[in-house]
Homo-oligomer: A and B are copies of this chain.
Amino acid sequence: MRHDSAACAARMNRLRAGFSEADALLILGAKNIRYLTGFTGGDGALMVGPDWLILLVDGRYVTQARAEVPGMEIFEFRNRVEGVAAVAGRRGVGSVGFESPLLSVEEYLRLKEALPEVKLRPLPKGFELFRAVKDDGEIDRIREAARISGEALAAVREMILPGVREEEIALELEYRMRRGGAEQVSFETIVAAGPDAALPHSTPGRREIADGDFVMIDYGAVCDGYHSDETCTYAVGHASDRQREVYRLVLEAHDRAIRAVRAGVSCGEIDRIARACLAEAGMAGYFSHGTGHGVGLDVHEAPRLASGREEILQAGMVVTVEPGVYLPGVWGIRIEDTVLVKQEGCEILTRTSKELAVIEH
């Protein structure tokens, strides 16, 4: 992230106001640290008191931390737990709130041993949503990531032909995203042809595309730390009536779910709508994952759009909607967009058409 000290300061105020039950907060997630400070290193810790703030890094990152977060107090550690214990001791904190999904039991036990008098308290569940509502700068970056990734996919579409291997398409797509300005790819690109498309998380391999295959491509780009996430499923050469029918069904589930996305609706309700659409055709049993997830500094982050999730969508959240049908050993279809939640409705950020495309050859 280009250092945006105003945005970081606002986030820090929100953190202090919202999670003030402990004397200090211990932030361990690298993306959370980046969100709060602008430090982009892959490892470290941030300790936040009511009127003090210390970034703890190991020797590899001292120079980088000084450059990226000018004015921040930096503490250099050799071992993260020892560093945290030293700072907590020096500041005389009696209780520390921490991200329980991001601290390992191993580090927790060492921390308790080093700080026997200090109460270690998991931050409440709500902290998972701390980054969920995006500001304009964040939305711009996700939109840009979606633009870069969409243009790269448009350019490799002509490669999707019988005889071409999944891994060749994945590589060219990733290369073009990077050439197009992505700093990284969002995740290892999925290109799954024929029966491989029935594996929701297939790794692209040496399988050659065949005439009549569905080819499922799940991919994204990273722009200034922010991810895009999109899945397109193409038919190669021709599509059978059954393929067309199931594609229409998945697209209908996708469209209905997207039409339901707006501020005030629960995450579980979006999942229920997509699932109910598939269930009407007796296909809900072939949809083996949740309907979506938040997207931002992580490609998978809160909230999750899955059965029973009670979190309420808010304007500014960016989430995926990605129903699928997977027929083991036969083929699969997933149709995914990343959307921006608005007060009324949503804006689709990933711009590739989701109408069934049959690639002629």
Q: Check if B109 sits within 8 Å of A198, measured CB to CB.
A: no
In the complex where A101-B106, A102-B104 touch, is A40 in contact with B200 (Cβ < 8 A)? no
CA of A289 to CA of B328, assembled, Å: 48
A41 CB, nearest partner CB in chain B, Å: 7
Interface of A is mostly: mixed
Q: Pick the most buried of A104, A167, A178, A328: most chain B CB atoms within 10 A of its CB.
A: A104
Indicate if A105 sits at the interface (CB-CB under 8 A).
yes
Indicate if A179 sits at the interface (CB-CB under 8 A).
yes
Instruction: Select A60's contact among B63, B175, B289, beta carbons within 8 Å.
Output: B289
Indicate if A95 sits at the interface (CB-CB under 8 A).
no
CA of A188 to CA of B102, assembled, Å: 22
CA of A109 to CA of B125, assembled, Å: 13
In the complex where A58-B289, A101-B106, A171-B178 touch, is A202 in contact with B122 (Cβ < 8 A)? no
Set of chain B residues within 8 Å of A243, measured between Cβ atoms = none
CA of A62 to CA of B288, assembled, Å: 9
Set of chain B residues within 8 Å of A307, measured between Cβ atoms = 78
CA of A348 to CA of B329, assembled, Å: 43
28-53 of chain A: CB within 8 A of chain B: 40-42
153-171 of chain A: CB within 8 A of chain B: 167, 171
Indicate if A234 sits at the interface (CB-CB under 8 A).
no
CA of A108 to CA of B198, assembled, Å: 33
In the complex where A102-B104, A104-B100, A171-B178 touch, is A63 in contact with B326 (Cβ < 8 A)? yes
Set of chain B residues within 8 Å of A352, measured between Cβ atoms = none
Size class of A's contact patch?
35 or more
190-222 of chain A: CB within 8 A of chain B: 198-203
Knowing that A42-B201, A63-B199 touch, tell me 11 more A-B residue pairs with CB under 8 angstroms.
A60-B201, A61-B201, A62-B288, A100-B109, A101-B106, A105-B122, A109-B122, A167-B183, A174-B178, A175-B175, A184-B188
A76 CB, nearest partner CB in chain B, Å: 8
Q: Closest residue of chain B to A201, judged by CB?
A: B60
A62 CB, nearest partner CB in chain B, Å: 7
Indicate if A7 sits at the interface (CB-CB under 8 A).
no
Q: Check if A63 sits within 8 Å of B198, measured CB to CB.
A: yes
Q: Pick the most buried of A105, A174, A175: most chain B CB atoms within 10 A of its CB.
A: A105
Indicate if A59 sits at the interface (CB-CB under 8 A).
yes
Set of chain B residues within 8 Å of A41, measured between Cβ atoms = 201
Contact flags A55-87 to B (C-beta < 8 A → 1, else 0): 000111111100000000000001000000000
